Structure 1
Amino acid sequence: MISLKALQKNKTIRYGVPMLLLIVGGSFGLREFTQIRYDAQKIRRKLDPSLEAKVNVQRQAVILEEEYEKLKEVNLEEWKNIRGPRPWEDSKEYQQQQRARKNKED
């Protein structure tokens, strides 16, 4: 019969079996957590009818033609690309510099 010391020296038993147990056990554990997630999503989707009516009133239907008309009214010919401040620059100082340059051009 195989002795206990021989089993402890076997790399498959020493490292492989715990790894397999961890993978299989982790899979069952993750299944429980994902089930909780999906249950919570189902609960969130079920809204009270009165609450749902309030939410739907706030949503306004966006009509593509109306948005297109708004864009047609905007003058894009005189548009200028203005560089924004870098993360290390102070935005207020940079805005003042931009305004000063624009005033000099005008």
Structure 2
Amino acid sequence: MFSLKALRKNKTAKYGVPMLLLVVGGSFGLREFTQIRYDAQKLRKKLDPSLESKVDVEKQTVMLEQEYEKIKELNLESWKNIRGPRPWEDSRELQEQQRSKQNKKD
């Protein structure tokens, strides 16, 4: 039979088994900790019943024909594409330039 001295000298038993236990045990431990995180997110997403009724009223079905009629009423031919300021440009100066150009055309 194995004696305690032989087990202490065995490198696999001394280093391998604890390492294996650490890796396998760590994976199970991490699974439990991450499950706590996801459970907390689910609880945070739940609404009060009073708020839920208000949200359900606002979620009305949108008919495709109604949205088409809204878009059809918009004047899409007269829009103008105006670029935004670059990070190094002053946005107020650029806005003033765009307004002055627009006022000259009108």
TM-score, length-normalised on structure 2?
0.63
Distance 1:103 1:34, change over 3 A: same
Match of 1:59 in 2: 59
Structure scoring higher RCO (CA < 8 A, sep ≥ 6) equals 2
5+ long unaligned stretches in structure 2: 1-5
Cα offset for 1:93?
1.2
User: More displaced, 73-82 or 91-100?
Assistant: 73-82
- How far is 1:72 from its partner? 0.6
Q: 1:70 Cα shift?
A: 1.1
1:1-106 to 2 correspondences below 5 Å: 18=19, 23-40=23-40, 41=42, 43-44=43-44, 49-106=49-106
**Count of aligned positions:** 98
* Deviations, residues 52-99 of structure 1 (Å, cap 9, x unaligned): 223312334333222211111111112221111112222111100111
What percentage of aligned pairs have identical amino acids?
A: 69
| 1:10-38 residue CA offsets vs partner (Å, 9 max, x unmatched) | xxx59xx75x5654344223201221133
RMSD, aligned CA: 3.3
Change (3 A) 1:45 1:102: closer
1:10 corresponds in structure 2 to: none
Structure 1 unmatched runs, 5+: 8-12
